[in-house]
Amino acid sequence: DAGVTQSPTHLIKTRGQQVTLRCSPKSGHDTVSWYQQALGQGPQFIFQYYEEEERQRGNFPDRFSGHQFPNYSSELNVNALLLGDSALYLCASSLAAIKGTYEQYFGPGTRLTVT
Amino acid sequence: GQSLEQPSEVTAVEGAIVQINCTYQTSGFYGLSWYQQHDGGAPTFLSYNGLDGLEETGRFSSFLSRSDSYGYLLLQELQMKDSASYFCAVRPGYSSASKIIFGSGTRLSIRP
């Protein structure tokens, strides 16, 4: 049973550039959430996708956008990168049909460094 | 605003018991979860409390008091592999679609 996978593992970008991160949810899961985790901090909720639509959004600027595909995989796009965007980006999947989807399965993350 | 508070660091001895507390302030509440994260790893789900009381899963237990906006994670028979960061997380909304808010984490160090 494949868990949550993310690509790439590491990424180095220059300020002002754009980046796309990818996530494949755990087999059978239909909901994908994205988080940003700075060093020494807890994950910060960016947004959640279900049925190819953004269902919830955290306090992140419009530079952060996403997409969910019919196979439930998802992308996170960040435009006009800032130094402060350097962080670990985590994808988590869950199954909406289960009442109280409190259990999320996290991927290994993508470490983004902006120079 | 919405916030969670937990101690930043806790140190304990191998074989002992440790409790990590979490207090929260949210506009709504739909459950308290706990996650474990080893250095360089992804968070992994440990437990969930939707109602008041104690939930036990092996060496780990979690407690919730909704009236006090308080919960804790109890780790028994500590092992060196339990050295990790532990995060409490809440759903502030009244639905499973609500976003999840994580605390800043408690770094647990185990001494031999």
| DSSP codes of every residue in B23-61 | EEE-SS---EEEEEE-TTS--EEEEEESSSEEEEETTEE
pLDDT value of position A99: 53
pLDDT value of position B96: 58
Chain A within 8 Å of B27 (Cβ-Cβ)? no
pLDDT value of position B81: 96
For residue range B5-40, list pLDDT tens digits in order: 999 999 999 999 999 999 999 877 778 999 999 998
Query: Per-residue pLDDT averaged across B59-75, rounded?
Result: 96
CB-based contact B50 A100, cutoff 8 Å: yes
- Which residue in chain B is spatially nearest to A4 when comparing CA positions? B42
Residues 6+ apart with CB under 8 A from B30: A100, B50, B90, B91, B92, B93, B94, B95, B96, B98
Chain B within 8 Å of A40 (Cβ-Cβ)? yes
| % of chain B exceeding 90 in pLDDT | 77
User: For residues A57 and A46, is the Cβ–Cβ distance under 8 A?
Assistant: yes
CB-based contact B42 A99, cutoff 8 Å: no
pLDDT value of position A97: 58
Residues A44 and A21: their CA atoms lie apart, in Å, by 16
The residue count of chain B comes to 112
Residues A114 and A100: their CA atoms lie apart, in Å, by 36
**One-letter amino acid for residue B32 of the chain:** L
Query: Per-residue pLDDT averaged across B40-51, rounded?
Result: 91
CA distance A51 to chain B (A): 12
User: For residues A113 and A11, is the Cβ–Cβ distance under 8 A?
Assistant: yes
HEC-encoded secondary structure of chain A: CCCCEEECCEEEECCCCCEEEEEECCCCCCEEEEEEECCCCCCEEEEEEECCEEEEECCCCCCEEEEECCCCCEEEEECCCCHHHCEEEEEEEECCCCCCCCCCEECCCEEEEEC
Q: Please name the helix (run of DSSP H) or strand (run of DSSP E) that holds residue B74, with its range, or none.
A: strand B70-75
Give chain B's end-to-end CA distance (angstroms, integer): 41
Look at residue B100 and tell me whether its pLDDT is greater than 90. Answer: no
For residue range A54-112, list pLDDT tens digits in order: 988 999 999 999 999 999 999 999 999 999 999 999 999 988 755 555 678 999 999 99
CB-based contact A55 B97, cutoff 8 Å: yes
Chain B within 8 Å of A5 (Cβ-Cβ)? no
Mutate to test the interface with B, among A10, A23, A29, A102 (most CBs of B within 10 A): A102
Chain A within 8 Å of B61 (Cβ-Cβ)? no
CB-based contact B99 A56, cutoff 8 Å: yes
Residues A3 and B77: their CA atoms lie apart, in Å, by 29
Using a CB-CB distance cutoff of 8 angstroms, which residues of chain B are in contact with residue A4? 42
CA distance B84 to chain A (A): 12
For residue range A24-44, list pLDDT tens digits in order: 999 988 999 999 999 999 999
Higher pLDDT, B100 or B35: B35
Give chain A's end-to-end CA distance (angstroms, integer): 37
